[in-house]
Amino acid sequence: MAEARAGLLTRFRASAHAFAHGVHPPESKELTAALPIRRMPYPDEVVLPVRQHAGKPARVIVRKGAHVERGDVVAEADGFVSSPVHASASGRVVDVALWPHPDGSMCTAVRIAVDRWSAQIARPRVVPEWDGLTRAAVVRAVQDAGVVGLGGAAFPTHVKLVPPADAAIDTLVVNGAECEPYLTTDHRIMVEYPRRVLFGVRIMMHALGAKRCVIGVERNKPDAIAALRAANGNGFRNDDVEILPLTVKYPQGAEKMLLKSVLGREVASGQLPASVGAIVQNVGSIATIAEVFETGLPLVERIVTVSGHGVRRPANLIVPVGTKVGDLLAHCGGLTDDAAEVLFGGPMMGTAVSTLDAPILKGTTGVVVLTHDEVRDQAALPCIHCGRCLDACPMFLNPSLLGDLARAGRHDEMAAEHLSDCMLCGSCSYVCPSNIPLAQLFAASKSALRRRVMAGTGA
């Protein structure tokens, strides 16, 4: 009886730190979860698109033929919701022109031929004393460093440090869930750089005036949980920072899902986390903020997981921003004979790239190479109205209805059915027995609605 009661209590505690609905795709993290982070050698060329963040693209300030040092600004922020782009390597600007972007479009980019014999040491920089700075000064330092969300959305981090005036922020929630299959970037950061993560937490709490921080980590990363707890009890005040194990479920790392799991707070439709007194930040971005205030160096490189059965040597690598994916894969031994598709990001929310010339961006969490067996074509069949997508959707939408509307081009009705609340997690597509590409339909519909708004024809 006692054992049964203990098991019931354990299950209750686990369910208390979870959200409704969601799915359980294969994790596929074993390829890289135990691999330590290593540094990739500098490629011969880096390509830096001006559009690497949510908001307005950066404005190029260098010309062809100019020499730049690692960390120099090559494109400045064009407004508050914008982020500068820095040279990730010392070299010569060989061109400023359109270049293939990972999203499939063409984008203005700065191409830099890397100095082959350069030590790649950045210019000396003043490292600010964060605890003596005002919020405005911290915000300026973070924006000047070009820090954006490194979990994939690439929202400028400094904007999150300036919540609405009427929002009373009491809690910083750090996203260490990393629920996307294959990816282990955040996992390795927490294992190898736990003190840096906690230092970044202190800086953000100082800037936000938050009195509490909760770091949510899925239970399939016990070494990360242990590392953070050990660091938190060794030199840091651990009374206001909690490391909370979470149920392993996708999409646990989505902002609204994480807030429900960690704090039990629900964000209303159309609202942001600040409306419930919290700010959510990815663990990689937190560590990057710490590095800015440790070294003064802006965001010029990031940790990328290279994984999948279609690449010969999976790895977790520190990669200069702007490295072409072809050069990255070559460093990892190249593609296997049965490689079929290269994804930026994971298989649930990632996008397939059409050219290996596409560069690694600030928000590129990983590069996953799938084989032919994993991406074999499956014909989409008519919807059988089984309801599985309704049970899977963590936002409690009706993907079946939205899918019918999308295929009919009835975008106004989709907006009325709360399409804006869809975060394109892909849970509906994953469970659909008819193989209907629901998430892709919704992404295209969101783009169509945005274009109509921009054209002034209404929503």
Mode of pairing for the β-strands spanning 212-218 and 241-246: parallel
Pairwise CA distance, residues 257 & 273, whole Å: 11
How far apart (Å, rounded) are the C-alpha atoms in residues 459 and 5?
54
N- to C-terminal Cα separation, the chain: 59
213 annotated as ligand-binding: no
List the one residue out of 274, 280, 240, 238 whose CA is nearest residue 262.
Answer: 280
Q: Which residues 6+ apart lie within 8 Å of 43 measured at CB?
A: 114, 320, 323, 324, 327
3-state SS class at 48: strand
**Contact call for residues 2 and 155 (beta carbons, < 8 A):** no
Helix (H, G, I), strand (E, B) or coil at 288: helix
Strands 315-320 and 37-39: parallel
Among 107, 24, 39, CA closest to 302: 39
The SS3 call for residue 127 is coil
Q: How many CB atoms lie within 10 A of CB 60?
A: 18
∠ Cα 319 320 323 (to 5°): 90
Q: Which residues pair with 301 in a beta bridge?
A: 320
Q: Is 428 annotated as contributing to ligand binding?
A: yes
Pairing status of strand 171-176 against strand 278-282: parallel
Distance from C-alpha of 252 to C-alpha of 173, rounded to nearest angstrom:
13
In terms of Cα–Cα distance, which of 174, 255, 183, 256 is closest to 217? 174
Euclidean distance between CA atoms 394 and 428, whole angstroms: 9
179 is in an annotated binding site: no
Cross-strand partners of 280: 173
To the question of whether residue 432 is assigned a binding role by annotation, the answer is yes
Judge contact between 398 and 414, C-beta under 8 A: no
Q: Confirm if 89 and 72 have CB atoms less than 8 A apart.
A: no
The three-state secondary structure class of 119 is coil
Residues annotated within the binding site for [4Fe-4S] cluster are 383, 386, 389, 393, 422, 425, 428, 432
Residues annotated within the binding site are 383, 386, 389, 393, 422, 425, 428, 432
